[in-house]
A and B are shown apart, each in its own frame.
Chain A
Amino acid sequence: MNILEKKTIFPVSRIHNPMLLEAWLEDGEIKDAFISDTLYRGFEQILIGRSAMDMPYYTQRICGICSSAHAITAALAVEQALGMQIPPNGLLVRNLILVSDFIQNHIRHIYLYTLPDYFRGPDIAPFIPHSESDLRLSSQENVRITEHYFKALEVSRVAHAAFAVFGGKAPHGHGLVPGGASMEVDADKVNRYRGYLMEVMSFIDNVLLPDVKLIMERYPEYINLGKGIGNYLSMGGFPNPEGSTLFSEGVSLQGERESFDEKKVTEDVTNAWYKPHGPLHPMEEDTVPDRSQVKGYSWVKSPRYRGQPVEVGPLARAIINKEPVIGYGALARTWVRALELKKITKTALEWLNRLEPGAATLDTKIGQDSGVGIGLHEAMRGALGHWISVKNGRVKHYQIVTPSALNFGSRDEAGTRSVGESSLLGLKIQSEDLKEAGRIIRSFDPCFSCSVHIIDGENLYALKIQV
């Protein structure tokens, strides 16, 4: 009989909000892994009964690092439900707000969350206590990356200043409202946005891309270590006024492509701490927390597309967009994220040039005060969907499927693992603290504040694994 050794890592740091990893090892190889979220806030219940117009503001409070993604998705859902139209200028301003938040997120994710896994920082907090295993950079390179780490802290706030030009403040901006964007366009604002964008662009070209390249050279095996399961999904995003989108929507299941259909999205709560129900479409399901569920091990539900777990994020977007990728593992995700950064800053400049000073950015006319709306948009870390039903201007039903739930959801009825859990299987571990697993988990850019519904798992795991 094999004896599996259990290792629990909590908290997995440099992730938004608590993530608990429980790995079962045999001879230094991960045989099974459970990833759970240990915080429950119940946003979907809080939203019910509130004014639909407030949704972009309230849903932002789900997540501090991708606030504008929730705002835009909520706005799209409300607009569809109430029959609102966005003026073309408003669409561009909205893209500019969201794109600056993408830039902020990607820079912070790469420097603050991903790179500390690969270099040795100085002897000050937050780098102490150090995690010493498997560090391959020379001392010179370490110093350089450390300098860039601090530089990145400064540049990422510049991206948020660009956000504030049209968004009012960041995070949790005010500029994204149902019907468009609240800020008017004039030369002064275009000018300022442009200034901030230029500063960020030079950082990306001269610092960020070379740094990620260096890490890939030193850790080549990580380009294909921590692969997903070959299912990728993108809900599309950043529409241009003429109808095309920067990120196309689509699904690739084991290499077979098809277009994305929101009706095929289901959520299951078999292994999460909720009142049990089978796989249900977000429009039909409810969210009733119940910590006594013995099978539960996480607060994250298990969203599936056509019953299958899918990976979302910059890598999925690149695959759906038919852009070349260098691999499918941890550092490949980081590299694609860096390339996406370059791509979106370039596009942001184009959008900025197309802005029309003085033209309307907001149209608050509503067609009806009740209806059903679906907001689908790519967030920084992958596909994000808001499903809303409005009655007399108030929210009757609200469900959110977040990227981190898609990547790191709990197991479904059939026991199928999420992409995040699967990516750790077979991983050889040499370090004491499971650093290798941390590297792979962080490459997905998980954000558990976003997973909305979350709980605890005192030794419940043990029940499920019969050794």
Chain B
Amino acid sequence: MLSRRDFLKLAIQGAIMGNFFELLAPPLAQAVGAGEVNKLPVVMIETGTCTGDSISLDNIWTPTFSDILSNIVDWRYDWSMMQAHGEVTYQVLQETYEKMPHEYILIVQGSMIQRDNGHYNHVAYDNGRLITGLELVRCLGLKAKYVVAIGSCATYGGPVAGYPNPSQATGVQNILPERRVINVSGCPAHPDWIMGTLLHLALYGEPELEKFGRPKLFYGETVHNRCPRRRDYDQGIFATEIGQKECLFRVGCKGPVTYADCPIRRWNDRINWPIGCNTPCIGCTEPGYPDLMSPFTAHLPDIPFPGGTKVATDAVGLGVLGLTSVALVGHVASSLYNGRLQKNLLKSTVKAPNRPSVKKVKSFHRYWLKKT
């Protein structure tokens, strides 16, 4: 069987070559065959979500989703795929809960709706009683082997927790303080991130997590540091509008503060990704998304982090080279402050007078990692 070190190597190699799972699948199949690992029992609960992460997972390239269903995981409960409906589905949950405690993996997709004690979101029905998402996730979460939150909503609240957060949504970690939740963020999360995390759990247990609870394997580096347009940035060559081929920093790219491996992994058959499509990264994997990242298409002089650090994006590129800083400062002076920056961008969004106060927004997207 693969060692953990080999796994990490493959993950990075696979991200570049686009065949992570092709490399990984044979040893995994061997391990399953030798009885070293069982098919992973998985329960997927959808709460306040758009189901985008399910659709994203269906888009996985290697291995195919058919292979995952037949050989890798026991996809026990997922209401967007199950053949049965109604009461029977709830029995599956009950059976998993009672017969396989501390064996199954709970995947949560969607934010936890807290308004009115969670009654703004019902997800199950037991003998005449409607069960809230909050209750079900807490109940299943406490007895699961691992809890994996997928997508921005489940991890840090996401778009559903956007100001003024009418449903009082929050991430799973905040309602399950007793245990560590593994966060696979993204809007939606990349299928490789989801499956890669699940496989790591199956083969080696919990992956190494960074400070916001995400596997370092996928979220260890900023988009900016691996961006193919980084050269433009270093030389101070910036796009002035969306749709141009240069560095998109001045039209609102949040790459410098966004941790994800999109630039090397890319999306859907690895054919493209947001910056490849001449649009800025909107920072969808970060805890402050979307409020602290919006306006998406406007350059923000600084982006405050829910973790406490305030990253001055203007300063990120400075100091790489003396030349760079001159170029940047020159550019800032000429384009940002003279208003040439992004002609299409509306002035009010740059000044953002009605931008919700950071303090207020932070409370929606707060994230505390439990120290274990």
A interface, CB within 8 angstroms of B: 8-18, 20, 38-43, 45-46, 49-54, 57-58, 61-65, 67, 108, 112, 116, 121, 124-131, 150, 153-154, 156-158, 160-161, 163-175, 177, 179-180, 182-184, 192, 289, 291, 361-362, 364-366, 369, 392-394, 433-434, 438, 449, 455-459
Contact of A61 among B61, B187, B243 (CB under 8 A): B187
Given the contacts A366-B344, A394-B348, A130 and B55 also touching, CB distance less than 8 Å: no
Given the contacts A14-B81, A39-B121, A394-B348, A51 and B56 also touching, CB distance less than 8 Å: no
SS of B interface (majority): loop
23 A-B pairs in the complex with CB atoms less than 8 angstroms apart: A10-B130, A11-B89, A11-B123, A12-B85, A41-B169, A42-B167, A51-B294, A112-B81, A125-B69, A126-B83, A164-B268, A165-B272, A171-B188, A173-B277, A174-B277, A177-B243, A184-B243, A361-B243, A392-B346, A393-B347, A449-B49, A456-B120, A459-B128
In the assembly, what is the distance between CA of A182 and CA of B243, in Å?
4
A433 & B346 in contact (Cβ 8 Å cutoff):
no
B69 & A126 in contact (Cβ 8 Å cutoff):
yes
In the assembly, what is the distance between CA of A130 and CA of B273, in Å?
39
Residues of B within 8 A of A131 (CB): 83-85, 88
Residues of B within 8 A of A192 (CB): 271
Given the contacts A53-B345, A433-B88, A161 and B279 also touching, CB distance less than 8 Å: no
A456 & B130 in contact (Cβ 8 Å cutoff):
yes
Q: How far is the CB of B298 from chain A (nearest CB, A)?
A: 7
**Closest 3 interchain pairs by CB?**
A64-B52, A393-B346, A168-B277
B242 & A369 in contact (Cβ 8 Å cutoff):
no
CB of B59 within 8 Å of the partner chain: yes
Q: How far is the CB of A388 from chain B (nearest CB, A)?
A: 14
A171 & B52 in contact (Cβ 8 Å cutoff):
yes
A51 & B274 in contact (Cβ 8 Å cutoff):
no
Residues of A within 8 A of B82 (CB): 13-14, 125-126
Binary per-residue interface labels of chain B (176-197) against chain A in the complex, 1 for a CB within 8 Å, 0 otherwise: 0000000000011000000000
> Considering only CB atoms, which chain B residue lies closest to A164 in the complex?
B268
Given the contacts A13-B85, A125-B69, A168 and B276 also touching, CB distance less than 8 Å: yes
B354 & A16 in contact (Cβ 8 Å cutoff):
no
> Considering only CB atoms, which chain A residue lies closest to B123 in the complex?
A18
> Considering only CB atoms, which chain A residue lies closest to B169 in the complex?
A41
In the assembly, what is the distance between CA of A33 and CA of B130, in Å?
18
Name the interface residues of B275-328: CB closer than 8 Å to any CB of A: 276-279, 282, 284, 290, 294-298
Binary per-residue interface labels of chain B (47-61) against chain A in the complex, 1 for a CB within 8 Å, 0 otherwise: 111111111101111
Q: How far is the CB of A162 from chain B (nearest CB, A)?
A: 9
In the assembly, what is the distance between CA of A38 and CA of B118, in Å?
11
B274 & A174 in contact (Cβ 8 Å cutoff):
yes
Given pairs A171-B56, A177-B243, 4 additional interface contacts (CB within 8 A): A20-B122, A61-B290, A125-B75, A433-B85
B278 & A9 in contact (Cβ 8 Å cutoff):
no
Binary per-residue interface labels of chain B (96-116) against chain A in the complex, 1 for a CB within 8 Å, 0 otherwise: 000000000000000001011
A168 & B349 in contact (Cβ 8 Å cutoff):
no
> Considering only CB atoms, which chain A residue lies closest to B296 in the complex?
A54
In the assembly, what is the distance between CA of A63 and CA of B110, in Å?
12
B85 & A157 in contact (Cβ 8 Å cutoff):
no
A364 & B343 in contact (Cβ 8 Å cutoff):
yes
Q: How far is the CB of A191 from chain B (nearest CB, A)?
A: 12
> Considering only CB atoms, which chain A residue lies closest to B245 in the complex?
A184
In the assembly, what is the distance between CA of A361 and CA of B11, in Å?
37
In the assembly, what is the distance between CA of A62 and CA of B85, in Å?
24
Name the interface residues of B156-183: CB closer than 8 Å to any CB of A: 158-160, 162-167, 169
A10 & B124 in contact (Cβ 8 Å cutoff):
yes
B242 & A169 in contact (Cβ 8 Å cutoff):
no
In the assembly, what is the distance between CA of A307 and CA of B18, in Å?
53
Name the interface residues of B140-164: CB closer than 8 Å to any CB of A: 158-160, 162-164
B46 & A17 in contact (Cβ 8 Å cutoff):
yes
In the assembly, what is the distance between CA of A394 and CA of B353, in Å?
10
Contact of A167 among B55, B120, B159, B277 (CB under 8 A): B277
A64 & B49 in contact (Cβ 8 Å cutoff):
yes
> Considering only CB atoms, which chain B residue lies closest to A179 in the complex?
B344
Residues of A within 8 A of B46 (CB): 17-18
